[in-house]
Structure 1
């Protein structure tokens, strides 16, 4: 019985240590999600300012959005790129599976002409397990501060494919959550750009330009696409950590239930051990009295 109680004590200690790890992971995920949400407002303001400036430049050129949003001819092609933001790490429940399912549904009719650009190491592993062909991949940064550099890499890859005529359009798919609400999957058009966010103001004095309007429009729209990628990556970063928080909360509840069961068994074994010792002492005392008689 002593061996059983010792083994049970070891298991209780192990479960407690696991619970401490799970709580720490949940706390880190909560902090990272909050940090990413705090930066989203800044990116949204930046993108809105770029859209307003691009709208003025667009009005000066009198042209529409073509290619990657810049005013330049590109070889026409029906191929497109799909940038998929999955999880970087595990312990996030079915987060990456849901994103991949949504991406496959979105590209099912054009799978043969769609190049997958995948962000997130964990998502890349799952994509390979499914036998998906990934044209380009990159890790999702561990901190939100690394998001702009990631957007740079994605832009370089997309514009490189666009310049060679390998793709003619690009979209992005990412998870988006709000505290207390389930995750939803968002689909974002990267290029050709939708002109709706670029308001063309009529009348008034035209802005003073130090660049040709076409060059200015090209630079502004390129920055706008970069901002949109930053926004998508931040949403994905926050959504992954929200999913990890939910997974760790479920794991913590399971650990608490297991710990309650083990502690109950621990108390029963202790009571049985004490009872056995009392019986043994009582039996010894009875035997001693019998010998004295």
Structure 2
């Protein structure tokens, strides 16, 4: 998905030369922000969802919320935070594109009705050796100035108007970015769950080691007490045998 999104981005850069005045929504007046929050789907992942929610902060009450993840949705309900749209994170990576389709459909419906005009994705990303980090990415409207225009390439042969092609490409890029962020969140949740389980296993081992040490100490104390009792009894028995009898 990283490669696919990069390929679409390069193609957009090529088409931009044919539509130099394209801005795609950057001139709109701000109405309301929409946030796609990729939280945990299952438990045993530590504070995975909490870190995502804390990264957003006060914006939870001012934005339209698209919440992905059953566990994250439950945590928000416990906190009394209203959710506008929610969906479960697929249990398999092959289900991610269908999830992106649903998010895109719900988003475009709200954009068309004028409810929102901006969309950010907040998700967790796992990096080898660095752990899980929360990231935020602007998805809509696209800042076309950020797309590089490759130099030295001939203009592509088009069978449709450049404006229509650019609109299709930007919609495809949004879908690719949603798939990209969802897959990063999917991988990060699994890594967080593995870390939580490993930490729990380590904690259990430490506690077991402590209990075993305590058991040995207690057993040693019991043995010592038994030896003392036996020694005291033996001493008393010998003293009774050597004591002169009264006549």
TM-score range, shorter chain: 0.7 to 0.9
Measured at CA, do residues 268 and 231 of structure 1 come closer, stay the same or move farther in structure 2, by a change above 3 Å?
same
Asked whether the 8 Å contact 1:80–1:167 carries over to 2, the reply is: yes
Q: Helix, strand or coil for the counterpart of 2:35?
A: strand
Match of 1:55 in 2: 13
Match of 1:80 in 2: 33
Q: Does 1:225 align with 2:183?
A: no
How is 1:6-85 mapped onto 2 (pairs within 5 angstroms)? 43-67=1-25, 76-85=29-38
Equivalents in 2 of 1:194, 1:79: separation in Å? 18
Q: Helix, strand or coil for the counterpart of 1:154?
A: helix
Equivalents in 2 of 1:198, 1:236: separation in Å? 24
Measured at CA, do residues 204 and 247 of structure 1 come closer, stay the same or move farther in structure 2, by a change above 3 Å?
closer
| TM-score normalised by length of structure 1 | 0.70
Q: Does 1:168 align with 2:126?
A: no
Give the alignment's Cα RMSD to 1 decimal: 3.1
Match of 1:101 in 2: 54
Asked whether the 8 Å contact 2:10–2:150 carries over to 1, the reply is: no
Asked whether the 8 Å contact 1:77–1:166 carries over to 2, the reply is: no
Q: Deviations over 1:155-188 (max 9, x none)?
A: 1111111111111111111111212214322111
Measured at CA, do residues 243 and 205 of structure 1 come closer, stay the same or move farther in structure 2, by a change above 3 Å?
closer
Residue number among 156, 165, 169 corresponding to 1:216 in the alignment: 165
Q: Which has the higher contact order (CA 8 A, sep 6+)?
A: 1
Q: CA deviation at 1:130?
A: 1.4
Q: Helix, strand or coil for the counterpart of 1:60?
A: coil
Q: Deviations over 1:185-227 (max 9, x none)?
A: 2111011102244223466532111222111111111111111
Asked whether the 8 Å contact 1:51–1:197 carries over to 2, the reply is: no
Q: CA deviation at 1:265?
A: 5.4
Q: CA deviation at 1:61?
A: 1.9
Greater per-residue helix proportion: 1
Asked whether the 8 Å contact 2:38–2:69 carries over to 1, the reply is: yes
Identify unmatched segments of 5+ residues in structure 2.
Answer: 234-247
Q: Does 1:120 align with 2:69?
A: yes
Identify unmatched segments of 5+ residues in structure 1.
Answer: 1-42, 284-293
| TM-score normalised by length of structure 2 | 0.82
Equivalents in 2 of 1:231, 1:203: separation in Å? 29
